[in-house]
Structure 1
């Protein structure tokens, strides 16, 4: 007969290995000094979670794998302050009951990047849901927020679905900002998944000359048009190169944002972008991508930029959602309980969904 106190237990998804994710009863976290415990309201399943679940090499292989199992996954979370450790109210400027989100990276505060304000490139690079050295992720009923986390309050007027996309929206904002979109630019966003659709909304707010979105799913292209895309392209039936050249006097687009997560999105971009254009790479790839690098230098002298996480963009994301300038409507398509994990990850891995949420409740 178990002697465990059920009030000290919680339901969580625990990642043990690729395709070995289990719904378990685990010890509920407690707040230590300068720490919070939050009750999770919702946690999104990211494309990186899907690739991690499937066993993508970059997460599990190499000398420094991202995943250090067992760990509770989930970095697209938000919740309510449930417990305050000693000094935590002053440290984070929050009270019990406040609705909050923590940025997905927990900076070490000591490396050259953290000391220079470039905390999103922290050398230690602890991200919620991949390693438990600092804390587990948000696919659970409760979650501990450590002292070095970056916490933001969420206004009451923002819906659950909108609050649940703050993390990916912050990433979308950072990516679009990396493209330095100008008023006379022709911008191409490749990929109309959750991130691509959020990037479409953000890029539309930059009012480029033309905003083009490319995807293979017609329903997602229809959403992109609702969100402000001037032109949508389905490579299965459309000639992307001919269309982009027709918009640019044959030169190619000024900005190409790659968020497909497949190698074809990269090589396509090298064809579509003009000389001296700005190529922004956001995707996490499940396999290696190859191309002729002479296109970057000898042929086009491109400005190739990466985009990682959402630094300094969470307050912007919250503000855009609060003002109704960006929305989760159409993007958040499914919600599941933690106990429905198997169905949730299956749905997230299919084209039947766009964004899937786990909703542990309060």
Structure 2
């Protein structure tokens, strides 16, 4: 089986190549990759090369396939796994795996560490490391892109689960956000913030009574409100408020919206000291600050009120990524109707992977979704209509997205996969 894949050979050295995959072993699975969502972590790996903790030192000789937020269809199953997996099943991958290597544990991941598996490829071999740790996850919902976005959604699910609160008079910690509590999502209308809003609105087992989402860009706030309206949150018992904190006293505004009590759960989605300090200032009694944003600056610091740590029991956690249970929950909620399309702003083919990955921080918008069996320049969904003036292909994509509030959707995906030959006509 030949595959076409983007492989990492070293620092900023990505190459789109076609090569032969070996026959699978009894404990492996051959799979088709339909789509991959390019993550900032892939940008970091591509720019750091072997300096990245998950990239092997010998990639110059044994290159790895990049991409770790991917979904597709199983093609062939080795004899060891035929009782669990079947050809034709749709799948997603939990990329962060851990395996024993003598006395030392190894943290590895598809998209960083493996020669024959990564998201930016047409076909891959799923190795025993993934299978034995139950990190190949079946997906029974519609389309493929939701399963590709299960990994980023699992990150915000993990963040909600990681928050904790105390039990008065004891040292017992209660994990999770406060049921019926007050929540704030600061700098919360980027891709991951939108995922958090989506999850909060649709979650059935636990939810806040009020959720305030902030940013300093009114256009981005307005778009978030279009995608996730306050009416939809109200129907699920949540008062959702979008607040521009670019002017005036943001702390005073936020405290006023909380009724003066402060917030039980505060999530920070930007590694900015001023935003971190805002979060600390609005914590209520026993409030939990979750620093979600992964900083690239190892010296990032912000002030914190330690008087409140002692007397008001405020505390801080930091989360990064989701575990396998979080991935399973993400797939389950999407099967039940949660659509993560609000994350996606660009669509492209496998030929767009290299430039997109290496320049990711400078490309505005949200998630860049790649369809690996297609050649297509990375294109903002917002540009489909303009391109449609000269291309019937883009005109139809624009029409299908317009039907879904300007968002990517299952109909558009199905049309793309069935008609991509018309792209250059």
Report the Cα distance in structure 2 between the residues aligned to 1:60 and 1:137, rounded to whole angstroms. 17
Change (3 A) 1:145 1:298: same
Root-mean-square deviation over aligned CA pairs = 2.9
Given that residues 2 and 123 in structure 2 are in contact (C-alpha distance below 8 angstroms), is that contact kept between their aligned partners in structure 1? no
SS of aligned partner of 1:107: strand
User: In structure 2, what is the equivalent of residue 224 of structure 1?
Assistant: 224
Greater RCO, CA 8 A, separation 6+: 1
Superposition deviation, residue 102 in structure 1: 2.0
User: In structure 2, what is the equivalent of residue 340 of structure 1?
Assistant: 352
- 1:43-62 to 2 correspondence within 5 Å? 43-55=36-48, 61=51
Structure 2 unmatched ranges of 5 or more = 164-175, 234-238, 374-416, 418-425
User: In structure 1, what is the equivalent of residue 144 of structure 2?
Assistant: 160
User: In structure 2, what is the equivalent of residue 142 of structure 1?
Assistant: 123
Superposition deviation, residue 271 in structure 1: 2.6
Report the Cα distance in structure 2 between the residues aligned to 1:359 and 1:44, rounded to whole angstroms. 9
**Structure 1 residue corresponding to 2:247, chosen from 237, 241, 253:** 237
TM-score (norm 1): 0.81
Report the Cα distance in structure 1 between the residues aligned to 2:275 and 2:301, rounded to whole angstroms. 11
Superposition deviation, residue 78 in structure 1: 0.9
- 1:107-146 to 2 correspondence within 5 Å? 107-108=98-99, 123-132=105-114, 136-146=117-127
- More helix by percentage: 2
User: In structure 1, what is the equivalent of residue 383 of structure 2?
Assistant: none
Structure of greater Rg: 2
Superposition deviation, residue 241 in structure 1: 0.9
TM-score (norm 2): 0.70
* Count of matched residue positions in the alignment of Structure 1 and Structure 2: 336
Change (3 A) 1:60 1:252: farther
Given that residues 71 and 130 in structure 1 are in contact (C-alpha distance below 8 angstroms), is that contact kept between their aligned partners in structure 2? yes
Report the Cα distance in structure 2 between the residues aligned to 1:265 and 1:161, rounded to whole angstroms. 32
- 1:123-272 to 2 correspondence within 5 Å? 123-132=105-114, 136-149=117-130, 150-155=135-140, 157-179=141-163, 180-190=176-186, 191-204=188-201, 205=203, 206-225=206-225, 226-227=227-228, 228=233, 230-237=240-247, 239-272=249-282
Structure 1 unmatched ranges of 5 or more = 1-7, 113-121
Change (3 A) 1:128 1:352: same
Report the Cα distance in structure 2 between the residues aligned to 1:279 and 1:265, rounded to whole angstroms. 11
Report the Cα distance in structure 2 between the residues aligned to 1:270 and 1:72, rounded to whole angstroms. 41
Report the Cα distance in structure 2 between the residues aligned to 1:29 and 1:256, rounded to whole angstroms. 49
User: In structure 2, what is the equivalent of residue 318 of structure 1?
Assistant: 331
SS of aligned partner of 2:196: helix
Superposition deviation, residue 83 in structure 1: 2.1
Given that residues 51 and 286 in structure 1 are in contact (C-alpha distance below 8 angstroms), is that contact kept between their aligned partners in structure 2? no
Q: Deviations over 1:130-185 (max 9, x none)?
A: 2228x642111122212232222111x42223222111112221112223222432
